[in-house]
Amino acid sequence: MQTFTHLYDNYSEAQHTVEALEAAGVPHSDISIVGNNADNSHTGSLTTAVVPGEGETDGAPTRAGTGASTGTLVGGGVGLLTGLGLLAIPGVGPVVAAGWLIATLSGAGIGAAGGGLLGSLVHAGVPEEHAHTYAEGVRRGGTLVSARADESRASTVEAVLAGRSTIAVNPAARRTAYVSDGWEKFDDTAPHYTADQVVADRAVRGRVS
């Protein structure tokens, strides 16, 4: 299985990518979406995953890890987006998410990558340098779409993502921008961004939600 990943500054761009992948015949069980929810824009009937014993802060789960009820977040219904759920990821903060990547958030680390979102990405085959940028991108307000595919579907996934590459974040360019601000790598012990910080960072990057 190969893993293909796009980071978007805008949740709706990521949503359209998920829909395009499904329309092309990619099973929703092979697609994941993880979007920052610092502004609490995703509410309502979504399921919240909380690690037992760790409680909640300001109505949001404090972290996601071993024991989290991530099973309720993995797809469902007609498409992936009908199975969205709410959880919190160490170093990233509150997110809205669904799909196979969420099910690997606990104990997915490889070497120095550790667990959580970063470890899950590396475990899925994303180069560690890009994985750091993707995880930091979600922390700063972005939304990540990941699709896995075997040889029979790889060209389909590549074609869909290639058609949407102009609106996706260039990971190398974004990493350079982060480093120029003094960033070194994603840190899952760092405080997550507030809604105001997300807005400020988007303004610096020249993108709007």
pLDDT at 207: 54
Instruction: Give the relative orientation of helices 128-139 and 171-180 as an angle to the nearest 10 degrees.
Output: 70
- Asked if 2 contacts 154 with a C-beta cutoff of 8 angstroms, the reply is yes
* Tens-place pLDDT, residues 85-117: 888 888 899 999 999 888 777 544 433 344 589
What is the spatial order of strands in the sheet that 47-49 belongs to? 2-8, 143-149, 31-36, 93-99, 85-89, 47-49
Name 195's bridge partners.
none
- Asked if 171 contacts 126 with a C-beta cutoff of 8 angstroms, the reply is no
Name 3's bridge partners.
148
* Tens-place pLDDT, residues 119-178: 899 988 999 999 999 999 999 999 999 999 999 999 999 999 999 999 999 999 999 999
* Tens-place pLDDT, residues 156-173: 999 999 999 999 999 999
* Tens-place pLDDT, residues 25-81: 999 899 999 999 999 888 754 444 433 333 333 444 333 333 233 333 333 446 888
- Dmax (CA) for the chain in angstroms is 46
Q: What is the 3-state secondary structure (H, E, C) of 143-162?
A: EEEEEEECHHHHHHHHHHHH
CA dist., res. 33 & res. 88, Å (int): 14
User: Within its chain, how far is the Cα of 57 from the centroid?
Assistant: 21
pLDDT at 71: 35
CB-based contacts of 67: which residues, under 8 Å, 6+ apart?
51, 52, 106
- Is the pTM above the cut of 0.75? yes
